[in-house]
Amino acid sequence: MCVVASCTAPTPSDSGEKRNAIPADTIRLALDWSPNVLHSGIFLAEYNGWYQDEGLHVDWFTTEIDGYKKKPVQRLSDGEVDLAVGPSEHLFFFRKDGGKNPVAVASILQKDRSAFCVKAADAISDPGDLADYTYIGYNTPLEEAVLTAMMSNAGLDHTPAMRKPGRLEVWYEFLKDEKGIAWIFRHWEGALAESAGIELTCFTPADHGVPYGYSSVFMAPEQLDADESARLRKFFRVTERGYREATAMSPDSLAVLLRKAVDHPNFEDVEIVTLAAKSIGDAFIGEGDVWGTMEEGLWETYLSWIRAEVREELPDSLYSADVYFTNRYLD
């Protein structure tokens, strides 16, 4: 399994001589979770040799490398990687005086695919019905605040009981708990549940009065030199091509190709991956045929809610949305 070090998928051999003749710049990329359909565009671009055609080598690894003890954004700030993937709120809470401060440089999704979910029950119709449920959390910023606000907006003045197993164990703990709440990606854990015949009732923050940012985003250091900037633009041109290819493919075809492209147990069950691909298929490309681009208004709305509702102090005084993201590398 390629879960620890450099994971390079096999590439077609018909243009091998051409690719070998191109000097490759390496981009070190920390993914936000174990490999799944969220990362389809990266894997397709790698499998088809498109990065190599542009003189790039993408050296990616996942949070499985250490059981998610260190967040990808922290690896970026410490200079261990060139790019990291994660939720937008990590940018607010993991800036620091030294190191390489991160900014969001592209959004993988144009639609939010995350939700708080419980096992379906007749008595559950909104977050106000979750008083005796336990949130199985990731011990990450804002998750408790978001869920508590959703409950409050539904008329429940209640902070949920919480349990925090290891981050990669959350889903398995949820499966064992009949009154557990988990914050999941519909396109992954949702597909796992559907395949197992487990019916879920899910609540999206935006549908219950809580604005949410982009998840997941590519993050890069806020200061890059000319060569680094050019390399990043090249990476995103190729990666966008990968995501557009993933969007154009049928879910079952994408599932079969991902099984070939990535040697990981997540892709062994084609039925599950097909369900996941169906779930995420319309979320990569947004209105106006856009991939990657982020809107300042969405960032500012999210920040405004955090300033007004979350008691924790932000780790710096930079509250303007344009501090945390840029679209400059997507031209």
CB-based contact 190:184 (threshold 8 Å): yes
Domain boundary among 156, 184, 208: 208
What is the pLDDT at residue 306?
Answer: 87
Residue pLDDT, tens place only, 40-85: 999 999 999 999 999 999 999 999 999 989 999 999 999 999 999 9
Is 6 part of any domain?
no
In this structure, the answer to whether residues 131 and 265 fall within a common structural domain is: no
What is the pLDDT at residue 312?
Answer: 64
What is the pLDDT at residue 159?
Answer: 86
In this structure, the answer to whether residues 228 and 313 fall within a common structural domain is: yes
In this structure, the answer to whether residues 145 and 222 fall within a common structural domain is: no
What is the pLDDT at residue 308?
Answer: 82
The residues, ordered by sequence, that sit 6+ positions from 11 with a Cβ below 8 Å of its Cβ are: 19, 46, 47, 48, 49, 52
In this structure, the answer to whether residues 198 and 224 fall within a common structural domain is: no
Separation of alpha carbons 17 and 45, rounded Å: 18
In this structure, the answer to whether residues 198 and 129 fall within a common structural domain is: yes
Is 29 part of any domain?
yes
Is 9 part of any domain?
no
- Residue 237 sits in a domain of what CATH number? 3.40.190.10
Separation of alpha carbons 48 and 69, rounded Å: 32
Domain boundary among 208, 231, 248: 208
Domain boundary among 161, 176, 208: 208
Residue type, 262: V
Q: What is the residue range of 229's domain?
A: 16-109+215-330
Instruction: Say what the pTM is.
Output: 0.89
In this structure, the answer to whether residues 291 and 311 fall within a common structural domain is: yes
| C-alpha triplet 188, 93, 97: angle, nearest 5° | 135
Is 104 part of any domain?
yes
Q: Which residue has the tokens 């804002």?
A: 142
In this structure, the answer to whether residues 82 and 223 fall within a common structural domain is: yes
Residue pLDDT, tens place only, 184-227: 999 999 999 999 999 999 999 999 999 999 989 999 999 999 99
In this structure, the answer to whether residues 227 and 297 fall within a common structural domain is: yes
Parts of the chain with a pLDDT under 70: 1-24, 97-99, 311-319
Cite the beta strand spans of the chain per DSSP E: 25-30, 56-61, 83-86, 102-107, 114-119, 134-136, 161-163, 180-185, 200-203, 217-221
Separation of alpha carbons 122 and 181, rounded Å: 16
In this structure, the answer to whether residues 22 and 169 fall within a common structural domain is: no
In this structure, the answer to whether residues 186 and 132 fall within a common structural domain is: yes
Is 10 part of any domain?
no
Count of domains in the chain? 2
Separation of alpha carbons 107 and 278, rounded Å: 19
Is 154 part of any domain?
yes
In this structure, the answer to whether residues 228 and 283 fall within a common structural domain is: yes
In this structure, the answer to whether residues 227 and 289 fall within a common structural domain is: yes
Is 155 part of any domain?
yes
